[in-house]
Structure 1
Amino acid sequence: MTGRVITVAQQKGGAGKTTLAVNLATALLRQGRHVALLDTDPQGSLGRWFMTRRASLSDVGVDFSTSSAWGVSYEVEKLRRQVDVVIVDTPPKVDSDLRPALREADVILVPIAASLMDLWATEGVLDLARREGKRPKLVLNRVRGRTRLDAEVRAAAAALEGDLLPATLAHRVIYAETLGQGLGVVEARRSPAVAEVEALLLAVMAAAEASDAA
């Protein structure tokens, strides 16, 4: 069986694409899965995380590759024969270059930072995904619970052409701290963030299994 492909996409920069990619990858490693990260973002944030990890750990644990937007299909085809899960991080833009990464995905994750501006930026990704016959999974990131804005964003996200996952990531400093250390939160000190990432991974892999069955 070939590996599953998770593509993380969002038009607005700073929404948390790399945070999702890194934390899902390290949570999968903790389960004993073989994971590959594919960075198609010229900004290279995922690559910098990987190099930091490589400098500090004797066993990096994950495979890492880069690709141009149009080289995604070839790279994914190669990687999914070698690993259990391929996670693709994409540039913060929405144009035809993004379509190969969406096309190859078993699950498309769209992080939405808890603001209406991030929500508005999501529409372009959803439109491209629809053209590829895919229904993305929406993930609320940097959530500040029990606020009016949080409630507004949740309600608006639920109305979009995507499935709003019940698992969310709260606004916690540990996500930025561990990213800068080449780690995921599951590899750091005990934190409520660990349970958040584990719940998100459970939801994402359930979506991947549903995609297999479809």
Structure 2
Amino acid sequence: MANAHLIVFANEKGGSGKSTTAVHTAVALASAGRRVAALDLDHRQRTFGRYLDNRALTVKKTGVELPTPAHETLDPAKHDVAERIAHWRDQVDVIIVDTPGRDDAQARAAVERADTLVTPINDSFVDLDLIGQVDPETYRIRRPSFYAEIVWDARKVRAKADGGTVDWVVLRNRLQHIEARNMKRVAAALGELSKRVGFRVIPGLSERVIFRELFPKGLTLLDLKAIGQEAGLAHVAARQELREMISGLALPDWLKGKAPMLQTAGLDIAGAPVAA
């Protein structure tokens, strides 16, 4: 493929599990034999970048080969996101971008170029308010919020630039295992809003202790067998959630299929961070 598929994880509200889902998506695609580049646009927090740095160190310490995306963290004072995306476009199959949890010019530039835009939200009206305001009496959507307008503007920029479209996916993270009244109301409001502003809703990942435990070593749910850790029932359930999440993204078939790992000049599949 001459042009990589660009997946951008973006949400101006922190704590939605954005970086965790971005890492798991990147590693899942790398595990499927795809060449993946990961760009962290949050040069201050660096959660996405540090996760993959930790992964590279684990590979080095253990000698266990783990599929690892090439990755770099972009400082807006030194890098231009459009240029870095263009740099990777013909080197890899997919580019994963994790954006800061705030309004940011670099993040907007990434969204304007996205093929798939993923907005993770916690399953609550607090997070839903980012994209749509809810009536406190009826729990019906009153109007789209500012972030929906940002995405609308980005879609217009993309269409004008190359005629392309941005597939907007709202990812419901931290779903409760027991369906509650609030969960039903959030689902109904999201369904109504999705028809008005044009996004798809898919289930994401539940709140699990294992995600916090995996970060220091840069591991994902897909790595437990490789490192000799036996998966419990909770881990099996979490992996199933991950499979359903990747399936829900509805990525092009050529991205999801199993294929031999391809090596590209300048692309460090082994996991070392790529110099800017």
Picking from 64, 89, 100, the partner of 2:71 is 64
The aligned amino acid for 2:204 is T
Give the corresponding residue for 1:79: 88
Give the corresponding residue for 2:9: 8
Deviation at 1:107, TM superposition (A): 0.4
Q: Structure 2 length as normaliser, TM-score?
A: 0.70
The change in CA–CA distance for 1:34 and 1:135 in structure 2 (over 3 A counts) is closer
Count of residue pairs the alignment pairs up: 208
The change in CA–CA distance for 1:162 and 1:113 in structure 2 (over 3 A counts) is farther
- Is the Cα–Cα contact under 8 Å of residues 106 and 208 in structure 1 kept in the other structure? no
Give the corresponding residue for 1:140: 172
For structure 2, the 5+ residue unaligned runs are 132-144, 156-165, 225-230, 254-276
Deviation at 1:207, TM superposition (A): 4.8
| Inter-partner Cα distance in structure 2 for 1:162 and 1:6 | 17
Max Rg structure? 2
Deviations along 1:127-180, one digit per CA (max 9) or x if unpaired, are 111102245210000111312222222222222224233333222222222233
The RMSD of aligned alpha carbons is: 2.0
Q: Relative to structure 2, which stretch is displaced further, 43-52 or 105-114?
A: 43-52
Q: Relative to structure 2, which stretch is displaced further, 71-80 or 160-169?
A: 160-169
Deviation at 1:96, TM superposition (A): 4.0
The change in CA–CA distance for 1:114 and 1:147 in structure 2 (over 3 A counts) is same
Picking from 101, 109, 114, the partner of 2:110 is 101
Q: Relative to structure 2, which stretch is displaced further, 62-71 or 29-38?
A: 62-71
| Inter-partner Cα distance in structure 2 for 1:94 and 1:124 | 11
Deviation at 1:81, TM superposition (A): 1.1
Query: Which protein has the bigger helix share?
Result: 1
Give the corresponding residue for 1:203: 248
Picking from 116, 119, 123, the partner of 1:114 is 123
Give the corresponding residue for 1:169: 205
Classify the secondary structure of the residue corresponding to 2:80.
Answer: helix
Give the corresponding residue for 1:212: none
Give the corresponding residue for 2:28: 27
- Is the Cα–Cα contact under 8 Å of residues 126 and 136 in structure 1 kept in the other structure? no
Percent identity over the alignment? 31
For structure 1, the 5+ residue unaligned runs are 210-214
| Inter-partner Cα distance in structure 1 for 2:208 and 2:198 | 25
Give the corresponding residue for 1:130: 152
Deviation at 1:194, TM superposition (A): 0.8
The aligned amino acid for 1:199 is E
| Inter-partner Cα distance in structure 2 for 1:135 and 1:162 | 9
The change in CA–CA distance for 1:197 and 1:162 in structure 2 (over 3 A counts) is farther
